[in-house]
Structure 1
Amino acid sequence: MNKKYIEFLNIISLRGPNIWTYRPVLEAWVDIGDLEDCPSNTIPGLYERLSTWLPGLIEHRCSYGERGGFLRRVQEGTWPGHILEHITLELQTLAGFPGGFGKARETPIRGVYKVVVRAWHEPLTRRALYFARDLLMAAIEDRSFDLADAVETLRDLADDECLGPSTACIVDAADDRDIPYIRLNDANLVQLGYGKAQRRIWTAESDGTSAIAEGISRDKDLTKALLQACGVPVPEGRLVESAADAWDAAQDIGLPVVVKPYDGNHGRGVFTCLMTQAEVEAAYAIAVEEGSGVIVERFVLGNEHRLLVVGKKVVAAARGEAAWVVGDGVSSVDALIDSQLNSDPRRGSSEEHPLNRVRLDSAARLELKRQGLVDGESIPALGQSVLIQRNGNVAFDCTDEVHPEVAAVVALAARVVGLDIAGVDLVAEDISRPLAEQGGAIVEVNAGPGLLMHLKPAAGQPRPVGRAIVDHLFAEGEQGRVPVIGVMGSQHSSEAAALTAALLQDSPKKVVGLAGANGLYLNQRCLASGDQRQWQAGQRLLINRAVEVAVIEHTAEGLLSEGFSYDRCHIGVLTDIDVNAHLGPFYIDSPEKVSSIFRCQIDVVLASGAAVLNADDALVAEMARLSDGAVSFFTQQPLSPALIAHVAAGGRVLQQQQNTLVFHDGQQSQSLALSQSFSTAQLAALTTAWAMNVSPASLLERVAALPTWSVSYSV
């Protein structure tokens, strides 16, 4: 019986750096059955259907390294596993996640492939793999496929589960600076950096945003009082208790006035330029339902502006514009809004649209009545200009127009409230002039401001607001990292990891985390017993604010099934490699493939860090060329010519000669007498601590203070 179908045997989520790439991927084990005998050039119409359904495949360069390279492979003949990879990547592109890593590799089993694709977000990529399989089978069998429905499903999944645009732009900016990040929940809480050096963000709020400041910003009356006390221009106004009180306040302040909720948001229930008692009382009735109270304040002439303050300076500004339609004597207001405003391709409900669709809310209906129109079904006269919204869609960039005095006042307003990141709303006729000379005023100071208006303005230049926030959180040159020591090896890594953690504990003030074979530890405190050489255990250390140094051990099996729990490490330790290790379930069936797994530990060493290598294991020693950082060897043998050359070039070697340890450091060496010989694991730990700048003499003092140097040692 022929089996021409694509079956997923297994899908492995590699959530950290792995044997394929530094980024998270899904590795799908795919059985293509008898399609192994059907390369793409033998399937009539396959090329035409794929290139028609997915025209973006023309951009896939593939092995030819040129535009159209993948489609050329399809024409010449390639296998379904390879095609599945590219379709998955293209579906992710259509869902809003362009580009990314992809590979398709044969296994020793006929018809079974490993298909590897960049996992921007695991549930989305997993769904994209299944859609890609179904699309490919439809193309092979010349059946229809609802591509639009698949893409819409993926986009909905992205909207529901991926980071929002404000958070994502900050994370992307951190990534550009090589600052690692960890998503802490299904919403927008993200950790930037590791351990004690971390910072946290939630959309555009940081762990430096105080709850007191946020509470003040929600209390509009208190905010105005504080700003006014510091000389910041604000519109006069007060809280009111009834519709009658609202009219009394309006008369005291002087018409026109604004009526708005005391603690509302997103402009709901805000009425501007109110001129009559009827308007004020009607506005009060609506505003009181949108918040816990109502404010009446002086109407400030001009356009609404949103200025973003990060730290102590304005980094972006956007202006709102009024929305008008012009009557044709035939169409209703609703129809004119649809044809003249909502037809603008910049308007929509998704994050891709910088402008919202215009709708007739209570404030807009009030504007219509002022102009002699009853509601949306009214028909304006030919040529009549009809105002729909006075202020809205604050999405027109005006950063370069902001007057220095305006920027100074806005930054002061954020400081008065106490916000490190703030969206300051002000009304002014001309943002390029000081507020005092035009009667402009600051009307609100908001915590957690949206950033989309600055990232994708309706007009003007996008602003790098995510980078501004990252630069505020991390000084130049900082990457939010604590030293991470990654340890791998076939036999000696567990003892080496435990001893390294013990050596680095100067005192109770030095908090060292260990995730290893004997458990998860924070100094002497056990957080979890049993084998903790897992991705999740390493992550537990990295999110712990107390951790100053993290020692994390990974096994070859763990790397193949989960990936590393960190993006890069300061020290990468490789104790030994057993090329006969049994990794058959992962289709690792040769010494070369086994060695390629362990090399990953050295591939992830930072340029500012070091690789610690066993010079007595030839395969381990060869890994020195892969390290982006320095290299420190340890050996129990006389120095080889290669090690002599390494030392001459300024490198480090820890050598055990009978009962003497020799610390070779470039042109200098230091010998220390021992009472016993050390094992491979012990030498690895000593070399690692030395690479962490613990002095040789101090190392031996610490060794003497340790209870035991046995394999079962655990901190």
Structure 2
Amino acid sequence: MTDQKKITILRVTHLRGPNIWTYRPVIEAWVDIGSLEDFPSNTLPGFVDRLKAWLPGMVVHRCSEGVHGGFFQRLDEGTWAAHILEHVTLELQNLAGMKTGFGKARSTSTRGVYKVAFRTRQEQVGRAALTAARDLIEAAINNTPFDLEKTVEPLREMVDDLCLGPSTAHIVDAATERRIPNIRLTEGNLVQLGYGINQRRIWTAETDQTSAIAEEIASDKDLTKALLKSCGVPVPEGTLVRNAEAAWEAAQDIGVPVVLKPYDGNHGRGVSLNLRTQSDVEAAYALAHRKGGGSSVIVEKYIAGNEHRILVVGRQVVAAARGETIWVMGDGVSNIDELANAQINTDPRRGSGEEFPLNVVIPSETGEVILELERAGLTPQSIPAKGHKVLIQTNGNVAFDITDELHPSVAAAAALAARVVGLDIAGIDMVLEDASKPLSAQQGAVIEVNASPGLLAHIKPAQGQGRPVGKAIIEHLFKLDRDGRIPVVGITGTLKTGRIARLVAWLAHISGKHVGLACSEGLYLDGRQVEAKDCANWEAGQRLLINRSVQAAVFENTSHTILAEGLAYDKCSVGVVTDVGWQKSLAEFDILDTEQTYKVARTQVDVILPTGTAVLNSADPQVVELAALCDGKIIFYGMDPQSSVMAQHREAGERLVYVLDDQIVLAEGAQEIAMLPLASLKPAKASQPEMVMAAVAAAWALDISPELIGAGLRTFESNPKKTPY
């Protein structure tokens, strides 16, 4: 139809760090709403009703009204397509399982063209949601069919494939609560927490403290059992066998009933319990042998009770869950597969994804269930009589929280088992009659020690209270007074910021730190140029932050970098702003004057930690305005110590850097802390006092002593030797 109204997506940019919109990564889309500029939502027949019917969940969007239903209120009053696109994109991400909430839409200097920014946790998902949102809005406007479920399903699949798994995300969220930064190192679940030398790494429930030797021990069930037994941890009697005949012989020696399980198995796969006859043992051997990939099979004494998973972090038990057996009740009509679907799989807690605490049960596709049924003379196609109860599973389903019920002696045995194996994070599988009773009062035992244990059963149990296991892991990795950060300095403006960055990095290096520097003059480590090209960008910055030898990092951030990529770090210790200078190249981003450039420069100040410092040029009125936005302290620098800005700051007892009688003065209130003669500096530096003052102030903000600052100024080399990276 020629009169259909359309939204054209002109360009899409992923801002991967703090930016002019927010502290978090966002996607910024430029969109042209065309003729819709003349048609706010309340003028489009039926549009608002269709949109509300398709996406009723948007009622919780508070919008600028700040109240529940605020966005719907805006729709009713009349709002424009770009604003609607922002909210629909956010809602589609939420429906796909990737929770987000921040978004903004702003008009540009071109009529009908808007910038739409929205939070996303994964770029590809965000881009796909944006396109889908555009299609949905156009369908609602033009009253054409739209299949919401067909649209959301591929987004869900993308979230499952591309986003952090729920266990890793839970740990990362706990780190964020502690204000510990994170960097995703791969497309999988390998995540860095913290920066540089203070970083730690996790891979789901493994950490960089998890011993490879301990993991090998845990995977060797026979060795694990021997070590546990030698240290007094109760374990079931058992032996390793390599054929079905030997399995039956072992069962007779141990005494039935017995358990058979793969030597290399995990997650309960191939495990058969309470075996009493030769035929059962031989059939269980075949299953365990197959599930274990052809490895040996363990025959153990069967211990009556429920399976339990106890999570140990460090030296403490932080969560415990119990399993339960699963039964179906015959109706005289349905076979066992059908009964399982109707009576078990309808439980909303069951599913095939990681977000479900319980698995779907399909008897005909599960060897352990088939074996259990065969022992009762049944198959998955059997039709039990009405009222006849059929056992489906005796193990697994460990997702019922019992943390508060756990007896101290049981917790102590689990913690000891983890220490014996050597794991810093371990899932201890125990069979217990009653977890609330002393271990000595029951026939309980440790049956397995697992490295990289699943966390979902504790985070989101099928029953009971979810446990903050992510917080426990973060406390294990970082002492309570640590945030994994290193000193980070960010510098923005147009007045020799690259050279200022180099000088600050050198002064930090002189103080005894291994320093990384990313600036327009190259990439540097400890004053050595390791890459001779413009490195004032996000990628170069990330290279410094993941370097485990870096103890401090300095970044030059041009306005172009902030607008095109965002900052490489989430927060900084020191932020330097030399000026708010507009440049023609910023017109590419629809930044057309110094007033708009001010919003770009404030990004550097917005990310300064409350314990940090802003270093600001007192000669630029717009830079001075940024002081009010800083959560930390302020150091003003300038040539005129008598200016009103400097005088007021001095009266407040704050720090200043200025030039007086050919000396750079460091002052705090009325007290002059130190004086660095300009004559002692190399001519190139002495002729650029503003540049030197900015660098000196930044070094002072890092608590580098005036004596070391002076030494650093005298030894700074403008043309360092290149070295390979």
TM tier relative to shorter chain:
over 0.9
Name 2:690's counterpart in structure 1. 680
- CA distance in structure 2 between the aligned counterparts of 1:622 and 1:362, rounded to whole angstroms: 70
Name 1:245's counterpart in structure 2. 246
- CA distance in structure 1 between the aligned counterparts of 2:14 and 2:155, rounded to whole angstroms: 18
The alpha-carbon deviation at position 118 of structure 1 amounts to 0.6
2:320 paired with 1:308: no
- CA distance in structure 1 between the aligned counterparts of 2:167 and 2:676, rounded to whole angstroms: 59
Name 1:538's counterpart in structure 2. 541
The alpha-carbon deviation at position 624 of structure 1 amounts to 1.2
**Letter aligned with residue 263 of structure 1:** D
Name 2:495's counterpart in structure 1. 491
Deviations 1:93-116 (A, max 9, x none): 111233421111111111111111
The 1:243/1:157 distance shift into structure 2, 3 A limit, reads same
**Letter aligned with residue 612 of structure 2:** G
- CA distance in structure 2 between the aligned counterparts of 1:131 and 1:463, rounded to whole angstroms: 36
Name 2:611's counterpart in structure 1. 608
Name 2:264's counterpart in structure 1. 263
Match 1:706 to one of 703, 711, 716: 716
3-state SS of the aligned residue for 1:351? coil
Name 1:325's counterpart in structure 2. 328
**Letter aligned with residue 318 of structure 1:** A
Name 2:371's counterpart in structure 1. 366
CA RMSD of aligned residues (A): 1.7
8 Å Cα contact 2:104/2:118 also seen in 1? yes
Deviations 1:439-463 (A, max 9, x none): 1100011010111101111110010
Name 2:652's counterpart in structure 1. 649
8 Å Cα contact 1:581/1:594 also seen in 2? no
Equivalenced residue count is 711
Name 1:626's counterpart in structure 2. 629
TM-score with structure 1 length normalisation? Answer: 0.97
Match 2:391 to one of 377, 387, 400: 387
Matches within 5 A, 1:268-667: 268-291=269-292, 292-360=295-363, 361-371=366-376, 373-506=377-510, 510-579=513-582, 582-667=585-670
8 Å Cα contact 1:495/1:713 also seen in 2? no
**Letter aligned with residue 70 of structure 1:** F
Name which of structure 1's ranges 329-338 and 48-57 shifts more when overlaid on structure 2: 329-338
Name 2:682's counterpart in structure 1. none
8 Å Cα contact 1:634/1:654 also seen in 2? yes
Name which of structure 1's ranges 343-352 and 225-234 shifts more when overlaid on structure 2: 343-352
8 Å Cα contact 1:514/1:520 also seen in 2? yes
8 Å Cα contact 1:512/1:551 also seen in 2? yes
The alpha-carbon deviation at position 3 of structure 1 amounts to 7.7
8 Å Cα contact 1:364/1:388 also seen in 2? yes
Name which of structure 1's ranges 698-707 and 305-314 shifts more when overlaid on structure 2: 698-707
Name which of structure 1's ranges 522-531 and 602-611 shifts more when overlaid on structure 2: 522-531
- CA distance in structure 1 between the aligned counterparts of 2:237 and 2:338, rounded to whole angstroms: 39
Matches within 5 A, 1:15-26: 15-26=16-27
- CA distance in structure 1 between the aligned counterparts of 2:609 and 2:90, rounded to whole angstroms: 29
Matches within 5 A, 1:123-142: 123-142=124-143
8 Å Cα contact 1:518/1:714 also seen in 2? no
- CA distance in structure 2 between the aligned counterparts of 1:453 and 1:153, rounded to whole angstroms: 26
- CA distance in structure 1 between the aligned counterparts of 2:4 and 2:690, rounded to whole angstroms: 52
The alpha-carbon deviation at position 643 of structure 1 amounts to 2.1
Matches within 5 A, 1:33-182: 33-182=34-183
The 1:568/1:669 distance shift into structure 2, 3 A limit, reads same
The alpha-carbon deviation at position 119 of structure 1 amounts to 1.4
Q: Which runs of 5+ in 1 are unaligned?
A: none
**Letter aligned with residue 399 of structure 1:** T
The alpha-carbon deviation at position 576 of structure 1 amounts to 1.8
3-state SS of the aligned residue for 1:288? helix
8 Å Cα contact 2:280/2:375 also seen in 1? no
3-state SS of the aligned residue for 1:289? helix
8 Å Cα contact 1:499/1:714 also seen in 2? no
- CA distance in structure 2 between the aligned counterparts of 1:396 and 1:681, rounded to whole angstroms: 63
Name which of structure 1's ranges 662-671 and 48-57 shifts more when overlaid on structure 2: 662-671
- CA distance in structure 2 between the aligned counterparts of 1:285 and 1:65, rounded to whole angstroms: 63
Name which of structure 1's ranges 661-670 and 681-690 shifts more when overlaid on structure 2: 661-670
Name which of structure 1's ranges 94-103 and 140-149 shifts more when overlaid on structure 2: 94-103
3-state SS of the aligned residue for 2:351? coil
- CA distance in structure 2 between the aligned counterparts of 1:639 and 1:55, rounded to whole angstroms: 61
- CA distance in structure 2 between the aligned counterparts of 1:278 and 1:46, rounded to whole angstroms: 68
Deviations 1:378-418 (A, max 9, x none): 22233222111111210000000100011011001001100
Deviations 1:208-248 (A, max 9, x none): 00110111110000100110110000011111122111111
The alpha-carbon deviation at position 682 of structure 1 amounts to 1.3
2:702 paired with 1:692: yes
Deviations 1:538-592 (A, max 9, x none): 0000011010000011110110010001001110011122245541111111221
- CA distance in structure 2 between the aligned counterparts of 1:671 and 1:546, rounded to whole angstroms: 32
Identity of aligned residues (%): 56
TM-score with structure 2 length normalisation? Answer: 0.95
Q: Which runs of 5+ in 2 are unaligned?
A: 680-685
